[in-house]
């Protein structure tokens, strides 16, 4: 089994670790003891020094930096001092551009990847910007992320901002919408929360299945909302322009924050 080193086992690193443990040996560095797994293919170190001083296996595919953006460059500096140059380093941080990464470690193979926490269940779409990887190393990185879901190659680094909004952050938006549904539906019916959750999950699955079949959302809405019926009344009350405006505000705020963070972390 090949190995991957993950620095930072918090929300994102922890989800990647869970997803990878099926198919990889994972060596993790986190200054907090995060995972209590007995899996024989999992090793944890509390410091980078201890990790790199140990006898690392020779089949390490990549090192993944999954610490907060403000810690990434310092951690990269430490990793680069100990890591052989042929092993790619992947940053999953939002807002840290390639230029800042390569300025810290010009000699290493570096790239950016943006997964989401559904990596835990093998359901994360991951966007990868290849940075300065060779084609061969890019294939290694791509196949590593394919263990936790599909992969999309981002040709331009600038596309990362929208990807972060739509894929890294938007799962939290969908869950916000779901919570709003759940709260309102419970009030409606007086039914217990678990029952309402089951109903709403089923309706969400129905919508997702419809999308996956290639049907346009507006066409299916017309099919569901028969004239003078319940759906038509509901959609009218929902006021789709307010909903669209709120969602646009959320996505734009995510994207703008990513752009702002990159500007702050750019090297000129």
Ligand X SMILES: NC(=O)c1ccc[n+]([C@@H]2O[C@H](COP(=O)([O-])OP(=O)(O)OC[C@H]3O[C@@H](n4cnc5c(N)ncnc54)[C@H](OP(=O)(O)O)[C@@H]3O)[C@@H](O)[C@H]2O)c1
Complex with ligand X: residue 71 or 222, whichever CB lies closer = 71
Complex with ligand X: residue 171 or 225, whichever CB lies closer = 171
Q: In whole angstroms, what is the distance from residue 27 CA to residue 7 CA?
A: 9
* Radius of gyration of the chain, Cα coordinates, nearest whole angstrom: 22
Q: How far is the CB of 12 from ligand X (least distance, A)?
A: 4
- Nearest CA among 89, 71, 98 for reference residue 266: 98
Point out which residues bind ligand X (CB under 6 A).
8, 10-13, 29-32, 48, 66-69, 71, 75, 92-94, 114-117, 168
Q: How far is the CB of 42 from ligand X (least distance, A)?
A: 16
Q: By Cβ distance, which residue is nearest to ligand X?
A: 10
Whether residue 114 contacts residue 164, with contact meaning beta carbons closer than 8 Å, is answered with yes
Q: Where are the alpha helices (DSSP H) in 89-239?
A: 98-104, 135-146, 159-163, 170-189, 193-212, 217-224, 230-238
Complex with ligand X: residue 3 or 196, whichever CB lies closer = 3
Complex with ligand X: residue 66 or 128, whichever CB lies closer = 66
Report the SS3 class of residue 70. Answer: helix
Q: How far is the CB of 203 from ligand X (least distance, A)?
A: 25
Q: How far is the CB of 185 from ligand X (least distance, A)?
A: 27
Residue with tokens 């290694």, as numbered in its chain: 140
């Amino acid at each position: 089994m090949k190995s991957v080193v993950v620095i930072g086992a918090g929300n994102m690193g922890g989800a990647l670790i869970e997803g990878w443990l099926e198919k990889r040996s994972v060596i993790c560095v986190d200054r907090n003891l995060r995972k209590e797994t007995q899996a024989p293919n999992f090793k944890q170190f509390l410091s980078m020094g201890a990790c790199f001083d140990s006898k690392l296996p020779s089949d390490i595919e990549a090192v993944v930096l999954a610490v907060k953006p403000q810690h990434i460059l310092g951690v990269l500096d430490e990793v680069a001092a100990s890591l052989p140059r042929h092993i790619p380093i992947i940053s999953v941080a939002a807002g840290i551009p390639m230029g800042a990464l390569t300025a810290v470690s010009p000699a290493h193979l570096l790239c950016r990847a943006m997964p989401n926490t559904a990596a835990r269940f093998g359901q994360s779409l991951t966007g990868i910007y290849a940075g300065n990887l060779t084609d061969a190393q890019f294939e290694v990185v791509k196949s590593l992320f394919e263990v936790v879901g599909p992969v999309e190659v981002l040709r331009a680094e600038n596309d990362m901002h929208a990807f972060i909004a739509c894929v890294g952050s938007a799962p939290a938006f969908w869950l916000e919408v779901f919570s709003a549904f759940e709260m309102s539906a419970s009030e409606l019916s007086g039914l217990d929360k678990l029952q309402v959750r089951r109903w709403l999950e089923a309706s969400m699955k129905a919508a997702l299945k419809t999308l996956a079949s290639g049907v346009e959302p507006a066409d299916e809405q017309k099919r569901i909302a028969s004239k003078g019926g319940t759906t038509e009344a509901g959609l009218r009350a929902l006021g789709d322009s307010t909903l669209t405006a709120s969602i646009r505000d959320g996505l734009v705020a995510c994207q703008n924050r990513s752009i702002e963070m990159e500007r702050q972390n750019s090297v000129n």
